[in-house]
Amino acid sequence: MIDQDFHPGLTPGHLGAPVLEPEGRPPGAPRPRSDAPDPHRRRNGLACALTALALIAVFGGIGLTGYTWLQQQRKPSAAADYTGQGNGSVQVSVPEGAGLSQIASALVRNGVVASSLAFTRAAKGSAAAAGRIQPGTYTLKQKMSAAAALSILIDPANANGLTIPEGWRGYQIYAAIDKKLNLPEGTTQKAAKEQSAELGLPDFANGSPEGYLFPATYAVTDGTTALELLKQMVDRAGKEFSRDDANVVAQNLGQSLYGLVTVASMVQGEADNTEDMGKVARVIYNRLAKGMPLQLDSTINYALGRSTLNTTVTDTKLDSPYNTYLHPGLPPSPISNPGRQAIMAALDPTPGDWVYFVTVKPGDTRFTDSFDVQQKNVAEFNAARAAKPSTPASGTATETPPAPGATAP
C-alpha cells in the first residue's frame, strides 16, 4: 500500500492533476517542445534505412544467385556417350533379374558404352526397352553409342541364353545343356554324377540334383561349362527354398526341407495352372496327415520316364517306390525341378479341407473333401476323355485310366 492511500486527493497523472516536472530544469525555464525534431534521431533513422536497403540488396543478390544455381542443378547434366556403332567384339552377360543400373555397369566395364548414365537415360526414354532386356549373353561392340547398344539388347534374338522350363526333369536339362554347349551327348549328366560334390547341393540331397536345377534363363558365353551352369541352377534353387524361413515352415507342415522340395516338384507336375498350385499342395499335405496314399499320376510317370495323361490300372500296380498309389507318404526324391510358383505353394499352401482333386478338362480342376463328389467328378473326367479319342499308351488300349485320387482312401 502506498502513501496516496492515506492522503486522499488527485494522484499524479490524474485528469486535472499537476504535472510533475522533471528534475534538473530551472524554475520558470521553458519546457522543451515535444514535437521538436531531434537531429541525432534523424541521422540515425537515415542510417538505418540505408543499412536496410543495403542488406536487402545483398541478400537479394545472394538469393538470386542461389536460385540460379539451383535451377542449373535441376537441369540434367550431359552424360558421356560415344557415337556410332562401335568396333571390335565383346560378350556381355545379363543375369536374370538384372536391373538397368546393373546392366549399364556391365556395359561400362566391358568398354561398350561411355557411361552408365547415358545408357540408363536411353533405356528409360525408350518405350520399347521397358521390360524387354532378356537374360543371356549378348555380342556387342566396344565404344558404341548408348542407343546402339540398347537396340541390340532389346532384341531377344540376340540373347545367347539357355532357358530351362518349369517342371523339366534332370535328364531333360542335361540334354539341353549338352546341345547348347555343343557337347557330346551325356557329358552334362556325367558331370552331374561325377562332380556332384562341387554343385553345392545340401547334404540331404545325397548328391542328386533333381529338384535343385532351378528353371530360369542362364547366360552362356564361349567359355561357359556344363558344371558352371549346374552350379548356377543349384545356387538359385537354394535361394528360392530358403524363402520365408523354410525350415520353420517345413516343421509346421510336418515335413523336412527335402520334403518341401519333393512336394513342390509334385505340385509342379499336377497343377493345371498356377492359381491351383496352392490347393494341390494342400491336398498333398492333407492326405499325408490322414495317412492316405497320394495317388498321383505324376510320380508314376517319373518312375516310367515318361510324360502322359494315359495312366492305367496296370500302371498303378507298378512295383516302384515312386508309385504313390501303392506306397504311402512321399516318393523318395523330387520328381521334377519346380519353379517359383510351385515352391511358394509348397511353402504356403491354400487353407482348405480338400483331400481329392481332378482336372475334368483344361481350366476346370475340382477340389473336394467328399469321396462321393470326387466319384462324380471322375465320371465327368472319364466321359470327357472317352469323347476325345487319343492314342493310349502301348499295351494298355483296353484299360480305363484312373483319375488322380480316384480310389477310396
Whether 43 is covered by a domain: the verdict is no
Averaged pLDDT for residues 377-386: 89
Averaged pLDDT for residues 317-338: 96
Band of pLDDT at residue 73, cut at 50, 70 and 90: low
Task: Determine the Cα–Cα distance for residues 197 and 300; give it in Å rounded to an integer.
Answer: 29
User: Does one domain contain both 292 and 366?
Assistant: yes
Q: What is the pLDDT of residues 332-352, one digit of tens each?
A: 999 999 999 999 999 999 999
Q: Between these two residues, 310 and 112, which has the higher pLDDT value?
A: 112
Q: Write the DSSP symbol of residue 3.
A: G
Whether 12 is covered by a domain: the verdict is no
Task: Determine the Cα–Cα distance for residues 344 and 143; give it in Å rounded to an integer.
Answer: 43
User: Does one domain contain both 250 and 381?
Assistant: yes
| Among candidate residues 159, 189, 211, the one where a domain is terminated | 159
What confidence score (pLDDT) does residue 55 get?
58
Query: In this structure, what are the phi and psi dihedrals at residue 87, rounded to the nearest 5 degrees?
Result: -150, 165
User: Does one domain contain both 359 and 274?
Assistant: yes
Q: Write the DSSP symbol of residue 63.
A: H
Whether 45 is covered by a domain: the verdict is no
Q: How many CA atoms lie within 13 A of 105 on its CB side?
A: 6
Given a contact cutoff of 8 angstroms between Cβ atoms, the answer to whether 133 and 106 are in contact is no
Q: What is the pLDDT of residues 16-43, one digit of tens each?
A: 333 343 344 444 445 545 455 555 555 5
| Among candidate residues 241, 258, 286, the one where a domain is terminated | 241
What confidence score (pLDDT) does residue 63 get?
57
User: Does one domain contain both 267 and 338?
Assistant: yes
Q: Between these two residues, 356 and 401, which has the higher pLDDT value?
A: 356
pLDDT above 80 for 360: yes
- Pull the grid cell for residue 33: 517542445
Band of pLDDT at residue 14, cut at 50, 70 and 90: very low
Averaged pLDDT for residues 362-369: 94
Exposure string of 250-279, with b = 16+ CB inside 10 Å and e = fewer, is beebebebbbbbbbbbbbbbbbbeeebbbb
- Pull the grid cell for residue 242: 530358403
What confidence score (pLDDT) does residue 41 get?
52
User: Does one domain contain both 374 and 361?
Assistant: yes
What confidence score (pLDDT) does residue 323 get?
97
Exposure string of 291-327, with b = 16+ CB inside 10 Å and e = fewer, is ebbbbbbbbbbbbbeeebebbbeebbebeeebbbbeb
User: Does one domain contain both 299 and 380?
Assistant: yes
Count of structural domains, the chain: 3
Q: What is the pLDDT of residues 246-289, one digit of tens each?
A: 888 888 999 999 999 999 999 999 998 999 999 999 999 999 99
Q: Residue 123 is part of a domain; what is its CATH number?
A: 3.30.1490.480
Whether 65 is covered by a domain: the verdict is no
Distance from the Cα of residue 68 to its chain's centroid: 42
226 CB-contact burial (10 Å; exposed 0-12 / middle 13-18 / buried 19+): buried
pTM over 0.75: no
User: Does one domain contain both 286 and 228?
Assistant: no
For residue 196, give its domain range: 162-241
Query: Which H helix or E strand runs over 136?
Result: strand 136-142
Whether 18 is covered by a domain: the verdict is no
What confidence score (pLDDT) does residue 339 get?
96
User: Does one domain contain both 307 and 233?
Assistant: no
What confidence score (pLDDT) does residue 309 get?
72
| Among candidate residues 159, 185, 212, the one where a domain is terminated | 159
User: Does one domain contain both 295 and 333?
Assistant: yes
Residue 296 one-letter amino acid: L
Q: Between these two residues, 131 and 213, which has the higher pLDDT value?
A: 213
> Strand runs (DSSP E) across 6-135, as ranges?
87-94
User: Does one domain contain both 344 and 368?
Assistant: yes
Q: What is the pLDDT of residues 122-143, one digit of tens each?
A: 998 887 776 788 899 999 999 9
Q: What is the pLDDT of residues 80-107, one digit of tens each?
A: 999 999 999 999 999 888 889 999 999 9
User: Does one domain contain both 297 and 346?
Assistant: yes
Residue-averaged pLDDT of the chain: 82
What confidence score (pLDDT) does residue 79 get?
86
| Cβ within 8 Å of residue 72, ≥6 positions away | none
Whether 294 is covered by a domain: the verdict is yes
Band of pLDDT at residue 62, cut at 50, 70 and 90: low
Given a contact cutoff of 8 angstroms between Cβ atoms, the answer to whether 204 and 334 are in contact is no
Nearest CA-CA partner of 156 in 132, 180, 140, 176: 132
Q: What is the pLDDT of residues 297-309, one digit of tens each?
A: 999 999 999 887 7
Q: Between these two residues, 324 and 44, which has the higher pLDDT value?
A: 324
Cα dihedral across residues 338, 342, 347, 351: positive or negative: negative
pLDDT above 60 for 402: no
Whether 82 is covered by a domain: the verdict is no
- Pull the grid cell for residue 341: 510358383
What confidence score (pLDDT) does residue 57 get?
55
Between helix 116-124 and helix 146-153 the angle, nearest 10°, is 60
At residue 364, the 3 state secondary structure works out as: strand
Whether 206 is covered by a domain: the verdict is yes
User: Does one domain contain both 154 and 166?
Assistant: no
